[in-house]
Amino acid sequence: MTHPFELSQEIELEATPEQVWDAIATGPGVDSWFMGRNEFGTSVGGPVSLTMLGHTEHATITAYEPGNRLATRTPEAPDGRFSAFEYLIEGRGGGTTVLRLVQSGVLGDDWETEFEAMKAGWPIYLVTLKEYLAHFNGRTPSVTTVFRPGAGGPDDVWKIVTDSLGVTPDVGEGDGVRLPDGSAGVVYYANLPANLGVRTDQGLYRFIHSGSERGDALVLGHQNFAGRDEQAAWEAWMAERFG
CA atoms within 13 A on the CB side of 137: 14
Q: What is the pLDDT of residue 22?
A: 98
Distance CA 52, CA 50 (A): 6
Q: What is the pLDDT of residue 115?
A: 62
Among 110, 135, 160, the domain boundary falls at 135
Distance CA 49, CA 52 (A): 10
- With 90 as the cut, is the pLDDT of residue 212 above it? no
CATH number for position 150: 3.30.530.20
Q: Are residues 111 and 186 in the same domain?
A: no
Q: What is the pLDDT of residue 112?
A: 65
The distance in angstroms from the start CA to the end CA of the chain is 36
Q: Are residues 33 and 107 in the same domain?
A: yes
Q: Are residues 165 and 131 in the same domain?
A: no
Identify the three-state secondary structure at position 243.
Answer: coil
Q: Are residues 18 and 108 in the same domain?
A: yes
Percent of the chain at pLDDT above 90? Answer: 82
Q: Are residues 120 and 215 in the same domain?
A: no
Q: Are residues 31 and 146 in the same domain?
A: no
Q: Are residues 101 and 59 in the same domain?
A: yes
Q: Are residues 146 and 228 in the same domain?
A: yes
Domain that holds residue 56: 3-135
Among 91, 106, 135, the domain boundary falls at 135
- With 80 as the cut, is the pLDDT of residue 39 above it? yes
**Mean pLDDT for all residues in the chain:** 93
Our count of domains for the chain comes to 2
Distance CA 194, CA 110 (A): 20
80-139 pLDDT tens trace: 999 999 999 999 988 899 999 999 989 877 766 776 777 777 899 999 999 999 999 999
Task: Give which of 212, 216, 218 is closest to 108, Cα–Cα.
Answer: 212
Q: Are residues 20 and 101 in the same domain?
A: yes
Q: Are residues 228 and 126 in the same domain?
A: no
110 touches 212 (CB < 8 A): yes
Task: Give which of 80, 60, 81 is closest to 72, Cα–Cα.
Answer: 60
Task: Give which of 47, 34, 41, 198 is closest to 121, Cα–Cα.
Answer: 34
Q: What is the mean pLDDT of residues 216-230?
A: 95
pLDDT-derived band at 41 (thresholds 50, 70, 90) equals very high
Q: Are residues 168 and 123 in the same domain?
A: no
Among 88, 110, 135, the domain boundary falls at 135
Q: What is the pLDDT of residue 213?
A: 47
18-27 pLDDT tens trace: 999 999 999 9
Q: Are residues 110 and 189 in the same domain?
A: no
